[in-house]
């Protein structure tokens, strides 16, 4: 229940405060969102398999976002940012779909 209350408070604060993202960070936002989604679905999968630990989830969440952003930033520095962004999205997308498939099997035994 507490996570849902936190999510609601976050949504309300976002609507009321209307935060803006500096232009130099905007290319990294989609990558950070996909990396966060990967950690979220991985955490849900671990929960359903009975091996979830909050410490591992927090470390996974933060490291996924930071490493994905670092890869894209490095790509920007050497002039191949779009290609590395696509690579990060593809890899994390595969992981997300793998986790979702495992979640579906756990929930529906299919």
In this predicted structure, the answer to whether residue 81 has a pLDDT above a threshold of 90 is: no
Task: Answer whether 88's CB lies under 8 Å from 71's CB.
Answer: yes
Residue 82 — pLDDT band, cuts 50, 70, 90?
Answer: confident
The pLDDT of 29-54, averaged and rounded, is 92
Task: Report the chain's mean pLDDT, rounded to a whole number.
Answer: 91
Domain count, the chain: 1
Domain annotation covers residue 11: no
Which pLDDT score is estimated for 48? 93
Domain annotation covers residue 8: no
Which pLDDT score is estimated for 26? 86
Q: Is the dihedral of CA 35, 58, 48, 107 positive or negative?
A: negative
Domain annotation covers residue 2: no
Q: Which domain holds residue 74?
A: 22-108
């Amino acid at each position: 229940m507490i996570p849902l209350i936190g999510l609601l408070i976050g949504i309300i604060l976002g609507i009321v405060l209307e935060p803006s993202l500096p232009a130099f960070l905007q290319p990294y936002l989609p990558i950070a969102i996909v990396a966060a989604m990967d950690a979220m679905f991985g955490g849900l999968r671990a929960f359903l398999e009975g091996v979830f630990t909050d410490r591992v989830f927090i470390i996974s969440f933060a490291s996924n976002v930071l490493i994905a952003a670092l890869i894209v930033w490095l790509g920007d520095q050497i002039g191949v940012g779009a290609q590395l962004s696509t690579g990060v999205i593809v890899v994390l997308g595969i992981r997300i779909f793998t986790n979702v498939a495992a979640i579906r099997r756990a929930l529906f035994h299919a």
